[in-house]
């Protein structure tokens, strides 16, 4: 057991050592920004700062270590209206199930919907009458293991694919995380997660090919050649999250959770924030949080998600007298610009 704990804390040190500090000068140099979008209502209501307390399916987006803290199996589906007024939506589904007494395997699917975008050309700037819809899809497979109900570790690999007509880019993003709990009712929680670490992505395909006349027409013969334009590669938006939380109980089933979280972004400003959750009889949960960008903020360098967030959950049982195995989560997050994002999640626990 001591060897296992030593290995886990060695992983924590390795994770912290691999993290790169936030650098606003690199803003815009990373792609695949959809990896930073959170579709799940519970964690979105806390501005995605539940690194220490995320459990179940949503842990695959926040801290994969929390996946193994499900009961037996959990299924979640979610819809997010992103940046109200933009017409963008995020659709997600996930399933997690126990493997043995302490392990859990999870699969997550996320799709970004841009709506219908009018097709325009140089000769028809008002539109050709046709529409296009980019395809941005992510599929994640993760595993988590809990030691003696105190320390959880996990790792997840996520396939990222972006495509529009005849141009696509594909990459692999790796997440790793650790959670530690302590106290008579697991009151104290600590979490560290490293997300979106992977090789650069690059667009390619027939859509980047152009036809031009041959540069040196031999014998005066002019003909067309097909030239391939090579797109620049881009990095994934890697980040390190570190968070702690503490639960204060009022009776058996009422508790107030306070949490603090620090985010080190490799391609934008670092962020720090705090939040609270109040659970009433394991039936209703209210939550609110505030996230702040560190350093002086400019329009070009600030993160779109900062300021206030809030949400609520309703827990219920599908069978009379049984344990809670159904939940509805709603969250609202302020954004700058646009008019905020809305998340709605349905959860089924077995």
What DSSP string describes 227-275?
A: EEPPPPPBB---EEEEEEEEEEESSSS-EEEEEEEEEEESSS--EEEEE
Are residues 32 and 171 in contact, defined by beta-carbon separation less than 8 angstroms?
Answer: yes
Q: What was the pLDDT predicted at 244? A: 95
Q: What was the pLDDT predicted at 14? A: 54
Residues 347, 285, 264: CA angle, nearest 5 degrees: 80
Alpha helices by DSSP H, listed for the chain, are 2-18, 41-44, 59-62
Q: What was the pLDDT predicted at 252? A: 87
Which of 111, 163, 118, 181 has its CA nearest to residue 139?
111
Q: What was the pLDDT predicted at 190? A: 94
* Residue 76 phi, psi dihedral angles, 5° rounding: -135, 140
Per CATH, domain 40-118+132-349 is 3.40.50.2300: no
Instruction: Burial-class residue 223 by CB neighbours within 10 Å (0-12, 13-18, 19+).
Output: exposed
Distance CA 271, CA 303 (A): 9
Distance CA 251, CA 257 (A): 14
Q: Which long-range contacts (CB under 8 A, 24 or more apart) does 220-228 make?
A: none
Q: What share of the chain is helix, strand, coil (3-state, %, to 5)?
A: 15, 50, 35
Are residues 177 and 50 in contact, defined by beta-carbon separation less than 8 angstroms?
Answer: no
* Residue 56 phi, psi dihedral angles, 5° rounding: 75, -150
Distance CA 347, CA 337 (A): 30
The token pair that represents 182 in the structure block: 């302590």
Q: What was the pLDDT predicted at 3? A: 55
Are residues 314 and 279 in contact, defined by beta-carbon separation less than 8 angstroms?
Answer: no
Each residue's pLDDT tens digit in the chain (350 positions)? 445 545 555 555 555 455 444 555 666 678 899 999 999 999 999 999 999 999 999 999 999 999 999 989 999 999 999 998 888 999 999 999 999 999 999 999 999 998 888 888 888 888 888 888 899 999 999 999 999 889 999 999 999 999 988 899 999 999 999 999 999 999 999 999 999 999 899 999 888 888 888 777 666 777 788 888 888 899 999 999 999 999 999 998 899 999 999 999 888 889 999 999 999 998 999 999 999 998 765 555 568 888 999 999 999 988 776 777 899 999 999 988 888 999 999 999 98
> Cis omega before residue 56 (within 30°)?
no
Distance CA 70, CA 44 (A): 19
DSSP-based three-state secondary structure for 220: helix
Q: What was the pLDDT predicted at 346? A: 97
Q: What was the pLDDT predicted at 11? A: 53
Q: How many CA atoms lie within 13 A of 173 on its CB side?
A: 29
Distance CA 25, CA 122 (A): 34
Q: What was the pLDDT predicted at 77? A: 98
The token pair that represents 321 in the structure block: 């007298």
């Amino acid at each position: 057991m001591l060897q296992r704990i030593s290995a886990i804390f060695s992983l924590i040190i390795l994770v912290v050592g691999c993290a790169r500090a936030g650098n606003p000068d690199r803003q815009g140099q990373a792609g695949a920004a959809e990896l930073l979008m959170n579709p799940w209502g519970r964690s979105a209501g806390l501005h995605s700062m539940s690194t220490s307390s995320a459990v179940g399916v949503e842990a695959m987006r926040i801290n994969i270590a929390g996946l193994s803290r499900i009961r037996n199996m959990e299924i979640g589906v979610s819809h997010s209206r992103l940046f109200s007024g933009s017409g963008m939506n995020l659709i997600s589904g996930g399933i997690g199930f126990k493997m043995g007494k302490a392990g859990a395997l999870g699969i997550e699917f996320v799709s970004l919907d841009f709506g219908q975008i009018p097709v325009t050309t140089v000769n028809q700037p008002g539109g050709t009458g046709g529409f296009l819809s980019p395809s941005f899809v992510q599929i994640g497979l993760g595993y988590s293991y809990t030691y003696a109900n105190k320390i959880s570790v996990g790792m997840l690999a996520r396939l990222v694919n972006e495509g529009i007509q005849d141009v696509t880019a594909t990459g692999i993003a790796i997440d790793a995380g650790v959670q530690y709990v302590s106290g008579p009712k697991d009151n104290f929680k600590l979490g560290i997660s490293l997300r979106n670490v992977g090789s650069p992505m690059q667009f390619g395909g027939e859509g980047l090919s152009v036809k031009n006349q041959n540069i040196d027409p031999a014998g005066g013969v002019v003909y067309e050649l097909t030239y391939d334009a090579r797109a620049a590669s881009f990095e994934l938006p890697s980040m390190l999250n570190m968070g702690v939380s503490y639960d204060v109980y009022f009776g058996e089933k009422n508790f107030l959770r306070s949490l603090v979280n620090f985010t080190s972004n490799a391609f934008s400003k670092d962020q720090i924030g705090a939040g609270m959750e109040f659970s009433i009889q394991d039936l209703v949960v209210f939550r609110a949080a505030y996230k702040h960008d560190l350093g002086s903020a400019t329009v070009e360098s600030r993160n779109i998600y900062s300021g206030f967030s809030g949400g609520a959950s309703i827990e219920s049982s599908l069978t009379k007298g049984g344990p809670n195995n159904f939940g509805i989560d709603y969250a609202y997050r302020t954004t700058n610009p646009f008019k905020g994002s809305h998340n709605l999640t349905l959860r089924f626990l077995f």
